[in-house]
Chain A
């Protein structure tokens, strides 16, 4: 046999099979190929959708703020309409309904009309304010403005003949004092109530922030969580009150649209907290329904789960039990019934601690995560006598 043929036969009739690791390596490489080919196809599509996803979180913040604005406006409008329908005339003066609701109309109607007068403010060193507040053509045309004006202009009720009753003192504690600014607000009383909030929540970490970049395949989605709890507070001066809140339920959430194992999936981290907060509220002007609030909170993590396309895993051990931080906000609050106030607020909570405790894959310092949330909520406050 020719040597070349012999050699060729020897080589081609090789009985030695390549080890399995060769096929495994081929298999792995082809898997990676599949991922890249999917990326080539899907990333352009994802990029086109990215714009929508990228603005979604910011839209959600705006939506939360808009929710607060709408709620506050509705309350203002309802208040104004009630003012128009239920006025108590004293001479030519109209008394807004919220004054009635807190007992002032009762005080007024119990007294002989001749004894009552809505007097010009004639405090020493202050300017006179016209006594009669009438609904002008302008205010009837612009009810919200009118309402704001009526809130912003405190009405002084004075009577030489009438001494304040115990009841009227409860709600108009400072009517006859030098500080007449709080005549219609039940200050310095203790109150309890409840609050409910819808929060646009953010887990501030590299993944969330990276998901806002246009070139990343991971997209950060708008995420919401609800809160519900009880409040208790007390006015400590004519313009300042302190309030404590216990949110039995306080949910935080962060959602993503991620590329995992060759396909896009929705992932979500849900965190259930119980939150204790304390804040001080400061009325932006005397008798204004609006106030600024600032304070702090501490939250206890009751549970955490990470879900991929609806399938969830318990990740509570990856996160620290306690979180604490600061809160600031803006509130609107008005009486709706005797002793009862209703209000709306917009708040921001910012966690000061790294809530990530680390896991087998990521050490704590590499997964630095802080909580940020924007809350829009409603509250009811019942003033105890």
Chain B
């Protein structure tokens, strides 16, 4: 087991820039779980999430010399993970799948229900039911805090599409979460 607490973030980054394997592993162990959760949110299933995580961290280590220390390292890694996840979904034949327009528009719910902790596998099951395009939009909005205009620019769609897809995804996900087992 690597001793990640022995080193500062700066030392770890410096070690990664020198391609020193132990520092690369420390960096990976520090962020793997959280970034894996994000990948699960985009992928909806474990195998694809693992592929996303692997690809993302390879990019992290290849580009680590571009990290200049402005902003948090986690934020920098997270950006790479998110972009990698979206890139991988774009390569997927069913990527870009959205809710069809004939579905009823769901207004954004403002009511706060009592939401309890949920096991990963149950949440994954619900996320997997969302169309991939809608899932990406929901994650970008809910996880990354992006605006609909930013999402529209990133995914090359209209902001209206982003809004409607997000609303439908959120509504359905909330319904499914609230449903008793």
A, B in one complex: yes
| A contact residues vs B (CB 8 Å cutoff) | 1-4, 6-8, 10-19, 21-23, 25-27, 29-30, 33-34, 37
A33 touching B62 by the CB < 8 A rule? Answer: yes
How close is B31's CB to chain A, nearest CB, in angstroms?
Answer: 11
Cα-based distance from A163 to B62 in the complex (angstroms): 97
A1 and B40 in contact, given A15-B33, A18-B50 (Cβ under 8 angstroms): no
How close is A359's CB to chain B, nearest CB, in angstroms?
Answer: 32
A18 touching B61 by the CB < 8 A rule? Answer: no
Cα-based distance from A26 to B62 in the complex (angstroms): 11
| B contact residues vs A (CB 8 Å cutoff) | 19, 21, 24-25, 28, 32-34, 36-38, 40-41, 49-50, 53-54, 57-58, 61-62, 109, 112-113, 115, 117-118, 120, 123, 141-143, 170, 173-174, 177
Q: Please name 9 further chain A to chain B contacts, defined as beta carbons within 8 Å, in addition to the given A17-B32, A18-B53, A22-B57, sorted by A numbering.
A: A2-B112, A4-B170, A7-B143, A10-B117, A14-B40, A22-B32, A22-B53, A25-B54, A29-B54
B36 touching A16 by the CB < 8 A rule? Answer: yes
Cα-based distance from A318 to B119 in the complex (angstroms): 58
User: Which residues in A have their C-beta under 8 angstroms from that of B49?
Assistant: 18
Cα-based distance from A139 to B25 in the complex (angstroms): 82
- The chain A residue with its CB closest to the CB of B57 is A26
A30 touching B24 by the CB < 8 A rule? Answer: yes
Cα-based distance from A8 to B25 in the complex (angstroms): 26
B143 touching A23 by the CB < 8 A rule? Answer: no
Cα-based distance from A16 to B32 in the complex (angstroms): 10
Cα-based distance from A25 to B54 in the complex (angstroms): 7
Cα-based distance from A16 to B37 in the complex (angstroms): 8
A16 touching B109 by the CB < 8 A rule? Answer: no
A30 and B54 in contact, given A14-B33, A23-B28 (Cβ under 8 angstroms): no
A11 and B38 in contact, given A1-B115, A6-B115, A22-B50 (Cβ under 8 angstroms): yes
How close is A21's CB to chain B, nearest CB, in angstroms?
Answer: 8
User: Which residues in A have their C-beta under 8 angstroms from that of B61?
Assistant: 26, 30
B120 touching A12 by the CB < 8 A rule? Answer: no
Cα-based distance from A27 to B21 in the complex (angstroms): 8
B174 touching A3 by the CB < 8 A rule? Answer: yes
B38 touching A34 by the CB < 8 A rule? Answer: no
Instruction: Choose among A2, A4, A21, A33 the residue with the greatest number of B CB atoms under 10 Å from its CB.
Output: A4
User: Which residues in B have their C-beta under 8 angstroms from that of A1?
Assistant: 112, 115
Cα-based distance from A37 to B123 in the complex (angstroms): 42
How close is A63's CB to chain B, nearest CB, in angstroms?
Answer: 43
User: Which residues in B have their C-beta under 8 angstroms from that of A6?
Assistant: 115
- The chain B residue with its CB closest to the CB of A17 is B33
Name 10 A/B residue pairs within 8 A (Cβ), A-sorted. A1-B112, A7-B143, A12-B34, A16-B36, A18-B49, A23-B28, A26-B24, A26-B28, A26-B58, A30-B61
A17 and B36 in contact, given A3-B109, A6-B115, A30-B58 (Cβ under 8 angstroms): yes
Which listed residue (B34, B54, B57, B142) contacts A4, Cβ 8 A? B142
B118 touching A10 by the CB < 8 A rule? Answer: yes
Instruction: Sort A-B residue pairs by CB-CB distance and give the 4 closest, nearest first.
Output: A14-B37, A4-B142, A6-B115, A18-B36
A30 touching B19 by the CB < 8 A rule? Answer: yes
User: Which residues in A have their C-beta under 8 angstroms from that of B33?
Assistant: 14-18
Which listed residue (B50, B58, B173) contacts A19, Cβ 8 A? B50
